[in-house]
Amino acid sequence: MRDWRHHLHAHPETAYEEYATADFIAAKLGEWGIAVSRGLAGTGVIGTLRVGESGRAIGLRADMDALHLDESNRFTHTSRTAGKMHACGHDGHMAMLLGAASHLAQTRNFDGTVYFIFQPAEENEAGARRMTEEGLFELFPMDAVFGMHNFPMIPEGQIVVRPGPMMASADFFEVKVTGRGAHGAWPHTGIDAISIASEIVLAFNQIVARTIDPLESAVVSVTMFNAGHSTNVLPETATIAGSTRTFSLAVQDHLEQRMRQLCEGIAAAHGATVTFEYDRRYPPTLNHPAETEFAAAAAERIVGPDNVLRNERPVMGSEDFAWMLLRKAGSYVWIGNGPEHQGGCMLHNPGYDFNDRILPIGASYWVELAESWLSTERKDGDTQ
């Protein structure tokens, strides 16, 4: 697994360009006699391992893509592609799932079907949404689907499991205000797009404070404001953009609706026009309770009860595995990468690297999860 991981780290590919990565994965799965399907979401790879007669099935997912980032590390497996690197540990995720696939193909100690899902384009491009839209769960019918991500703030050897919200939604918006341009000396002859856009920014900042239940969590962040090119011209247009995050599907709906109302109302009050675009890129990652308890029990058998953390808080980061959880029961866990590894680098840092010492832990978790879900002692339809 270490050698596979180093190879993948040295040859990163970004969203929907994971052709060599997919070739590598498909070749390994084929070597072990696992049926390989390719092309879902462009570069996705699905391995199917069927043993026995049971109709039960489980899906295990790993993400494949790297980030647009110049790596600062100087070890032997440093990225060989300028401007691209595995700074989020997806190289380790693939290696762990390959390790589990190899073991399960050799031992075949289960009754049912394991689907090994290698998903492209997790970073920003919502490859999981595309996979589900292209028929992932229809073409590969499974009872539940499970995901895992390394996390540097968690000690090596520990796994975080929690039902309900695990990570936030990530939606992106753009607002374009169109007024009427004018000379800076005669502002009364125009409609000031900058002032109107500024009023919208201030109104957005009040949404969470005044329209969201204080017991809910939400963030509205305006991160871009573009207008004007001259010091003596009131521009015709002003554009603002940013993102929103929440753990609730209902709050997600409210944010979009309220932001649209504010834009349209403020623009109309000043005689301007406005366009509001809202892209629901990632929903909140919401773990299903029964499947999460099943995952926790499997994790305890690998790392021990004291190393399975059940009461950690969710984070405002996002994860497109959420799209799979909207369509299929399942659970998503974090595996500790160790805060001391690589000097404590956080994800998406040019100095980040996956901790090879946790490869056996993650692969063992996958194996335990699959074997226990497909145990010959369980009956079709069981979730516990």
Is residue 249 assigned to a domain? yes
Residues 288 and 161 in one domain: yes
Residue 380 belongs to some domain of the structure: no
Residue 122: active-site member = yes
**Of residues 13, 65, 319, 353, which has the active-site annotation?**
65
Does residue 213 carry a catalytic annotation? no
- Which residue stretches of the chain are H helix? 2-10, 19-31, 90-107, 127-133, 136-139, 193-211, 249-269, 289-303, 321-327, 359-373
**Domain end residue (candidates: 236, 258, 282):** 282
Kindly list the distances between the CA atom of residue 133 and the CA atoms of 31, 58, 137, 284, in Å, as whole numbers in the listed order.
29, 19, 9, 18
Residues 17 and 10: their CA atoms lie apart, in Å, by 15
DSSP 304: -
Q: Please name the helix (run of DSSP H) or strand (run of DSSP E) that holds residue 37, with its range, or none.
A: strand 35-38
Residue 235 main-chain phi, psi, to 5 deg: -70, 155
**Helix ranges, 47-89 (H):** none
Give phi and psi for 192, each to the nearest 5.
-75, 100
On whether residue 378 sits in a domain, the answer given is: no
Torsions phi, psi for 89 (to 5 deg): 85, 15
What CATH number does the domain containing 79 carry? 3.40.630.10
Q: Does residue 384 lie in a domain region?
A: no
Tell me: do 159 and 232 sit in the same domain.
no
What's residue 344's pLDDT? 81
Residues 260-288 pLDDT 10s: 999 999 999 999 999 999 999 899 999 99
Q: Are residues 36 and 48 in the same domain?
A: yes
pLDDT score recorded for residue 384: 47
- Is 162 found in the same domain as 307? yes
Q: Same structural domain for residues 22 and 130?
A: yes
Q: Are residues 13 and 55 in the same domain?
A: yes
Quote the number of domains for the chain. Answer: 2
- Distance (Å, rounded) from C-alpha 272 to C-alpha 237? 10
Pick from 236, 255, 282: which residue ends a domain? 282
**Structural domain includes residue 327:** yes
Q: Identify whether the C-beta of residue 239 lies closer than 8 Å to the C-beta of residue 174.
A: yes
Find, among 272, 250, 249, the residue nearest to 200 by Cα. Answer: 272
378: DSSP letter: S
Q: Which of 122, 143, 192, 368 is catalytic?
A: 122
List residues bridging with 302 in a β-sheet.
Answer: none
State which H helix or E strand residue 53 sits in. Answer: none
Same domain, 225 and 139: no
Q: Are strands 144-151 and 330-336 parallel, antiparallel or unpaired?
A: parallel
Helix, strand, or coil (residue 279): strand
- Calculate the alpha carbon distances from 126 to 80, 238, 281, 283 in Å: 26, 29, 7, 10
Could you give the CA distance from residue 306 to residue 7 in angstroms, rounded to a whole number? Answer: 34
Answer whether residue 63 is part of any domain. Answer: yes
**Same domain assignment for residues 58 and 98:** yes
Task: Name, in order, each residue with C-beta under 8 angstroms of 36's C-beta and a sequence gap of 6 or more.
Answer: 26, 29, 30, 45, 46, 47, 48
Q: Is 306 inside a domain boundary?
A: yes
Instruction: Clarify whether residues 131 and 61 are in a common domain.
Output: yes
Please say which residue of 242, 263, 282 terminates a domain.
Answer: 282
Token reading at 40: 């879902």
Are 177 and 148 within one domain? no
pLDDT in tens, the chain (384 residues): 999 999 999 999 999 999 999 999 999 999 999 999 999 999 999 999 999 999 999 999 999 999 999 999 999 999 999 999 999 999 999 999 999 999 999 999 999 999 999 999 999 899 999 999 999 999 999 999 999 999 999 999 999 999 999 999 999 999 999 999 999 999 999 999 999 999 999 999 999 999 999 999 999 999 999 999 999 999 999 999 999 999 999 999 999 999 999 999 999 999 999 999 999 989 999 999 999 999 999 999 999 999 999 989 999 999 999 999 999 999 999 999 998 887 788 999 999 999 999 999 999 999 999 999 999 676 555 554
Whether residue 320 sits in one domain with residue 200:
no
Alpha-carbon distance 257 to 247, whole Å?
17
pTM to 2 decimal places: 0.91
- Cα separations in angstroms, 246 against 118, 233, 280: 27, 39, 12
- Shared domain for 271 and 149, answered yes or no, is no
- The CATH code of the domain that includes 270 is 3.30.70.360
Question: What was the pLDDT predicted at 382?
Answer: 58
Q: Is residue 383 part of a domain?
A: no
Q: Which domain holds residue 197?
A: 170-282
